[in-house]
Amino acid sequence: MLSAVERKIEQFVADLNDKEVTALYAKLPQGKRLRAKLILKIAGNTLPVVKTAAVVEMIHAASLLHDDVIDDAFTRRSKPSLNALYGNKTAIMLGDILYSKGFFELNNISAEVSRMVSNAVTQLSLGELKDVSLSKSFNLDKEIYLEMIYQKTASLIEASAGAAAILAGKPKEVYMTYGRNLGLAFQMIDDLLDITSDAKTLGKPALHDFVEGKTTLPYIYLYEVLSKEEQEKLSILHAKVLTKEEQSWILLKMQEHQIIERSYFEAKELIEEAIELMDSHGEEALSGIAKEMIERDF
């Protein structure tokens, strides 16, 4: 039923009656539509549910448009990003148009759903700001990293599940916990893929996060187990363009200390908790989405 969401987004965009915006929207790669999938699986496919899913996906698309400007990213899902194709100004404005139209439509759904989703967008923005600020120094604090990824990524997935539960008359806390765990694990795995995948699969150079100054969970764990001299070496490499040798050194040290396995285990624990929670509520389809996430390639 994802196609109903696709059609609803197209209709919302068409409502704006602007040829340029319609053409720009058509250029955006659609992505996995994880948030819409969750919403439909929790709440079915009545009109308010489809509208909520469409709004959430428009907000998500807006956040990625802005994120690619902030990150100077020239690719998104292995294709040229909108900022690469048309410049930062166009990308920012398309983001603003998508999310303000989303907010407008949100008001026609329900006050509780509207509060839930709009609060998540504030969290999203606070998280993105934190991500930028943290990348200016070598963050070694796992709690700070977790708080940042909760805000930047998990908050909208948590709110999607919560909003769907409200619409379906299901206990919202249960579904929000599921969404939060899924969101945290999703970002942790995304951060792992930045280390384990090659440039071709990623659509961006490997170890890009560290070069950008982002010390994700594996770097925090690696630092903890390195010798004093090695810690110093890693801090010197932080936020620098890396030579092939420097890249290999980081990867070798990660292998030596089983850092990827340790970080993956942490994401897996969150997923297992989410699966158990959904199994105990008879929500097999939602357990299935969680399982798929942990079985992603890497």
Residues that bind ligand FPP (CB under 6 A): 59, 62-63, 66-67, 71, 73, 95, 99, 121, 124-125, 128, 152-153
- Report the C-alpha gap between 227 and 212 in whole angstroms: 24
- Greatest extent of the chain over all pairs of C-alpha atoms, in Å: 61
Span 68-87, contacts to Mg ion by CB under 5 A: 71
- Report the C-alpha gap between 239 and 208 in whole angstroms: 9
Q: Which residues pair with 246 in a beta bridge?
A: none
For ligand FPP, give the closer residue by CB, 99 or 145. 99
The one segment of 67-75, 99-107, 120-128, 132-140 that binds Mg ion by CB under 5 A: 67-75
Burial class (CB in 10 A: 0-12, 13-18, 19+), 58: buried
With a CB cutoff of 8 Å and minimum separation 6, the contacts of 249 are: 233
For ligand FPP, give the closer residue by CB, 88 or 231. 88
Total residues contacting Mg ion (rule CB under 5 A)? 2
Q: Tell me which of ligand FPP, Mg ion, none is bound by residue 58, counting a contact when its beta carbon lies within the kind-specific cut-off of 5 to 8 angstroms.
A: none
Sign, CA dihedral 94-95-100-101, equals: positive
Residue 73 Cβ vs ligand FPP, minimum distance, rounded to whole Å: 6
- Report the C-alpha gap between 167 and 46 in whole angstroms: 9
- Report the C-alpha gap between 4 and 25 in whole angstroms: 17
Q: Give me 258's structure tokens.
A: 């089983």
For ligand FPP, give the closer residue by CB, 73 or 267. 73
Q: Tell me which of ligand FPP, Mg ion, none is bound by residue 180, counting a contact when its beta carbon lies within the kind-specific cut-off of 5 to 8 angstroms.
A: none
Query: What's the one-letter identity of residue 100?
Result: S
Q: Tell me which of Mg ion, ligand FPP, none is bound by residue 41, counting a contact when its beta carbon lies within the kind-specific cut-off of 5 to 8 angstroms.
A: none
Residue 71 Cβ vs Mg ion, minimum distance, rounded to whole Å: 4
Q: Name which position in 67, 105, 128, 191 contacts Mg ion (CB under 5 A).
A: 67
Residue 99 Cβ vs ligand FPP, minimum distance, rounded to whole Å: 4
Q: Tell me which of ligand FPP, Mg ion, none is bound by residue 158, counting a contact when its beta carbon lies within the kind-specific cut-off of 5 to 8 angstroms.
A: none
The one segment of 51-59, 65-73, 155-163, 194-202 that binds Mg ion by CB under 5 A: 65-73
Query: What's the one-letter identity of residue 22?
Result: T
